[in-house]
Amino acid sequence: MKNISSEIQASRQAFYDAISPLNLTPLWEVLHALVPPQPNSPCVPALWKYELLEPYLLGSAQLITAEEAVRRVLILENPALRGHSCITQSLYAGLQLILPGEVAPSHRHTQSALRFIVSGSGAYTAVDGERTTMQPGDFIITPSMTWHDHGHDGDEPMVWLDGLDIPMLRFFDAGFAENDTRPSQEVSRPEGASFARYGHNMAPVRAASPYGATSPIFSYPFQHVLRALQKMQRFEPVDAWDGFKLRYTNPLTGGWPMLTMGTFMQLLPKGFAGRPYRQTDGTVFSVVRGAGTAYIESASSQTEFHFEPRDHFVVPSWYTLRLTSTEGCMLFSYSDRPVHEALGIHKEERLIS
């Protein structure tokens, strides 16, 4: 507000006090905060070094079983939003541990989940009667309201990143959940059945999409993405901002595999020094291979994260990100971009320097 006399200020305050019991408040006091000239996220950039958290994650198995915990997860909480179980205002992230012989019991909920496998192998996730064995680097989907449980027939601890749209569903007050009557759901189809039907640029002639606009494929194996990016690296010019970057797709539509979260894999070649960009979708990164540096800036802050395999970091909406990698690296990421696009509010700026 401009310079105003204390007399006017006092009479305005008296007015606000008078209308407050009627649950009224003056727009003119909050207008610029409500409609900022550009995004002004309450989130901050943050890095979770796997090396530092791994002892605690593995140690959590001494405290509680997967069955008792239902899901034994350490949530990655944005440092500026502690206590809200979220990594950005719209996204949840956590690292889940399952040990050989354990079961994470079957349940279902309207929140959609993605898994990105970080460490170990041999555990399976079951979705809608079909099990998928998980390998490092695989991207796996649990569509909204599908029964899902996890189990582990292998012989080493297994860790994956869970990405859920929990804060969005909380915002819309649209959360429903239900526990199954059995810890593990019955298997009704062989492993790979969905991939056979939908994973080879083919589709059943008459069958309708089993999960609406969500992808009919539960698992996007790492080996396929790796092959694609390595091949691209040989014949395609490198993108000055992204390196070589692909988005995962729903094979039936070409659109995003999930309605609320978009997923990506990128390869930064050796010696890559990316240009800066910013976009409205705050993004969570999981480091698959190699190492590099993320330079993250806003008008009032500058952060530099050195990342290695299994590290995770978050870049809030409209922060500028620049990626570099001396040895080369691969990064998986997810964001709420499908929602921004559906609402017509997605914005990206690719800057020159």
Contacts with ligand 1HN by CB under 6 A lie at 71, 73, 94, 96, 104, 113, 148, 150, 162, 164, 166
**Minimum distance, C-beta of residue 8 to ligand 1HN, in the bound complex (Å):** 50
In the complex with ligand 1HN, which residue's Cβ is closer, 166 or 168?
166
CB 177, min distance to ligand 1HN, A? 8
> Which residue blocks in 162-319 are alpha helix, DSSP H?
166-171, 193-198, 222-235
The distance from CA 66 to its chain's CA centroid, rounded to whole angstroms, is 22
Nearer to ligand 1HN, 166 or 288 (CB): 166
Tell me if 318 sits within 8 A of 41, measured CB to CB. yes
Q: How far is CA 60 from CA 65, 106, 352, in A?
A: 9, 21, 45
DSSP letter string, 131-169: EEE--TT-EEEE-TT--EEEEE-SSS-EEEEEEE-HHHH
The residue (of 166 and 321) whose beta carbon lies closer to ligand 1HN is 166
> Is 90 within 8 Å of 165 (Cβ atoms)?
yes
If the CB atoms of residues 105 and 137 are measured against ligand 1HN, the closer one turns out to be 105
Q: How far is the CB of 72 from ligand 1HN (least distance, A)?
A: 9
Q: Minimum distance between the CB of residue 158 and ligand 1HN, rounded to whole angstroms?
A: 12
Looking at the Cβ atoms of 147 and 285, the one nearer to ligand 1HN is: 147
| Among candidate residues 241, 242, 278, 275, the one with its CA nearest the CA of residue 38 | 278
Tell me how far, at minimum, the Cβ of 55 lies from ligand 1HN, in Å.
21
Give the H/E segment covering residue 39: none
Order of strands, sheet of 283-290, starting from the edge strand that comes earlier in the sequence:
46-48, 312-315, 283-290, 329-335, 262-268, 244-247
Secondary structure element (H or E) that encloses residue 107, with its range: strand 103-109
Is 126 or 287 the residue whose CB approaches ligand 1HN more closely?
126
Q: By C-alpha distance, which of 182, 123, 109, 114 is closest to 152? A: 123
Distance, CA of 232 to CA of 215 (rounded, Å): 24
Query: At closest approach, how far in Å is the CB of 76 from ligand 1HN?
Result: 12
CB of 286 to ligand 1HN, least distance (A): 15
- For ligand 1HN, the closer of residues 73 and 76 by Cβ is 73
